[in-house]
Amino acid sequence: MSTLEIRGLTASVAGKQILNGIDLTISSGEVHAVMGPNGDGKSTLSAVVMGKPGYTVTGGKVLLDGVDMLALPTWERAAAGLHLVMQYPTEVPGVTLDAVLTEALKDRGRSADVGSLASQLHTEAARINFDEKFLDRPLNVDLSGGEKKRNETLQLAVLKPKIAILDELDSGLDIDALRDCARRVMDATREDGLGALVITHYSRLLEELRPSRIHILVKGRIVESGGPELADVLERDGYAAFTPADSSSADAVSGDYLAGL
Ligand code: ADP
Ligand code: MG
């Protein structure tokens, strides 16, 4: 059983405060969704948790099973069990998927898995309808948006992280790819006890990747948390009801409206 705890996290990028105090707790087997308008800090949250350069943490904590992730370089966070599926997966010319996973498994003390990597890759590729011809390509190079996300999902399936952040898994995906990727992640929560933090601004994804909790992130704060029904409210009413009239302060969200949910 693993737990990722994000406590009072504040962070800035390019001199601008973007995260204004995020509190989230995700445990093994759970799916939490973070939804919110464009530009309000969702990707920044994923970047800060993984330690992407350029983001400055100004306060708060990120703990994985009590271990301070903010004190570790990105690769050690990943080796400890944190995993990010990026909104826009990076192309890495000259480095194959096989090479990446071989090194990553060694870093995780799982050299034994390396021997069976080829067969795992074929099994996993078939499971998410990822064309095997892409397995030998340099990482993500010349792949379509959908193929890149399948490729990233395949890495997650092989590495078996404790907690994964999926930043807009749905962006750049057609319906079939979305279903394949979402189902594989959902299976990982059941089979491997993966805890998933799913970032999206469309409820469509959540029909496949069913969250137990939904959090609404507006202007760098979680302004509301609730059950799956919150996605229906968003689908109906949009984010307007959760967007503070005074854009400088998320505290200004209508208490009456939230109390009525
Ligand atoms: P979301 O994912 O919710 O759409 P982001 O976290 O990507 O939002 O962005 C939040 C804000 O931070 C935006 O105003 C964005 O322009 C800014 N921002 C994010 N990353 C960077 C960066 N590396 N450099 C400069 N500004 C950034
Ligand atoms: Mg984003």
pLDDT digits (tens, 9 = 90+) for 131-175: 998 888 899 999 988 899 999 999 999 999 999 999 999 888 888
pLDDT digits (tens, 9 = 90+) for 17-50: 999 999 999 999 999 999 999 999 999 999 999 9
The pairing of strands 163-167 and 221-226 is unpaired
Quote the Cα angle for 35-78-217, to 5°.
Answer: 15
Q: How many separate domains does the chain show?
A: 1
Average model confidence (pLDDT) for the chain?
91
Q: What is the pTM of this model?
A: 0.91
pLDDT digits (tens, 9 = 90+) for 164-175: 999 999 888 888
Closest residue by Cα to atom 18, ligand 1, is 13
pLDDT computed for residue 71 by the predictor: 98
**Distance between CA atoms of 231 and 252, rounded to whole angstroms?**
21
DSSP string, 44-69: HHHHHHHT-TTEEEEEEEEEETTEEG
Q: Pick from 186, 183, 233, 239: which is nearest to 212 by CA?
A: 186
Name the percent of the chain lying above pLDDT 90. Answer: 75
Å from CA of 140 to ligand 1 middle: 23
Å from CA of 196 to ligand 2 middle: 16
Q: Which residues surround ligand 2, an ion (CB under 5 A)?
A: 42-43
Closest residue by Cα to atom 22, ligand 1, is 13
Better-predicted residue by pLDDT, 216 or 235: 216
Residue 38's domain comprises: 3-259
Q: What does the DSSP 8-state code read for residue 69? A: G
Ligand 1 atom closest to Cα of 217?
Answer: 3
Residues with CB under 6 A from ligand 1: 13-14, 18, 36, 38-44, 54
180: helix, strand or coil: helix
pLDDT computed for residue 217 by the predictor: 96
Ligand 1 atom closest to Cα of 199?
Answer: 2
Range picked from 54-63, 90-99, 170-179, 234-243 for highest mean pLDDT: 54-63
Q: Which ligand approaches the C-alpha of residue 35 most closely?
A: 1
Whole-number Cα distances in Å, 82 to 5, 67, 99, 127, 160: 12, 12, 20, 23, 10
Quote the Cα angle for 110-112-113, to 5°.
Answer: 75
Å from CA of 119 to ligand 2 middle: 34
173 contacts 150 by C-beta, under 8 angstroms: no
Closest residue by Cα to atom 15, ligand 1, is 39
Q: What CATH number is attached to the domain comprising 228?
A: 3.40.50.300
The pairing of strands 31-35 and 82-85 is unpaired
Å from CA of 178 to ligand 2 middle: 17
User: Quick one: how far is CA 26 from the chain centroid?
Assistant: 12
Å from CA of 192 to ligand 2 middle: 27
Lowest pLDDT segment from 114-123, 187-196, 246-255? 246-255
Is a pLDDT exceeding 90 seen at residue 54? yes
pLDDT computed for residue 253 by the predictor: 47
Instruction: Read off the pLDDT band of 255 (50, 70, 90).
Output: very low
Q: Which ligand approaches the C-alpha of residue 38 most closely?
A: 1
Å from CA of 118 to ligand 1 middle: 38
